[in-house]
Amino acid sequence: MREAIGLTVLLLILLAAPLSAVMPIMHDIALLDQALDAGDQNLRSSGYGGLTPARCSVPGFFVIDPGTNWENFIGAAQDGVPYTIKNVTLCKQTPSIIQCAETFPAQTVCQQGTANIRLLWPLMYEVPGTIWTLTVLYGTAVRYDDDGADGNPAGFVHTEIWQWQVDASLESLKVLMRLFRQSPFGTSEVGLISDEWLFPILIDEIDAVEAAVEDQDLVIAGLIIGDFEMMVMDACITESPESPSPTGIGSGIANSLENPACCKLLADAEFIGFDLGILQPAKQPAAPERSAAHD
């Protein structure tokens, strides 16, 4: 899946790029985390014990730091060779998924021009496998060998291509669930995962998948992750609960337009299942259509 997306983006870039004697420099793809364990980032009250550090999860962010005139992404700048920016393009390609395809449609969006490139991208609701491709076209006043002894001839026009991909794993899925438990559902007093009894069960399910994968029992792993998906789908709610009761009417997992946490967990489970080879497309359950509150 990852290789196919990368090759598609590279083909689009090469077809659109101007011809030159110097081949584009294609850098290794970098993986992005959707959520992070932040360590001691906040405080909690332990009653008579006072305030103590508490672990929390935070959204991951894809941040592009261009430096001065995009120097951080230009080989000539690293070698002190004067250069002129010709064009900068950033394309975001979202892959096709089975779960919640309407919420997370497959699409490619491109931005062009140094002033138009978005530099900060929150990753909390980005589908795994989403790829950003940054293409920097620049020229040098003198012939410049942009890849050293790797075979590219020295030239005046150069292209550098950088890629980042949203990653997902069984461990990152648990971190994402912790984040959803801690993040508010709109302005309500409950988290995106508001069912306190369901949360540890979902964590245990992913732990069981990890154990089955370690035992190389992919059939059992596939059955368990399928159960996980069914539990998530059954808990989808489109409106935040009216009260913070952990198991009150309406508690579940947020699945509104603004907070599609339910669909995001399903998309991650799908990606991970295919990536590990424990799910087959024909066995995937349908995307949730539930609109009433979970009871």
| Cα distance between residue 261 and residue 102, in whole Å | 14
pLDDT digits (tens, 9 = 90+) for 4-59: 555 555 444 444 444 445 789 999 999 998 888 765 456 776 667 777 776 677 88
Say what the pLDDT of residue 189 is: 79
Query: Residue 137 — very low, low, confident or very high, per pLDDT cuts 50/70/90?
Result: very high
| Cα distance between residue 56 and residue 276, in whole Å | 28
pLDDT digits (tens, 9 = 90+) for 161-178: 999 999 999 999 999 999
Contact predicate 161/139, CB 8 Å: no
Instruction: Indicate left, alpha or beta for 122 from its phi (over 0: left) and psi (-120 to 50: alpha).
Output: beta
Q: Is the pLDDT of residue 291 over 90?
A: no
Q: Cβ contacts of residue 116 below 8 Å, gap of 6+?
A: none
Tell me which residue of 220, 215, 259 sits closest to 236, measured CA to CA: 259
| Cα distance between residue 149 and residue 151, in whole Å | 6
Say what the pLDDT of residue 270 is: 95
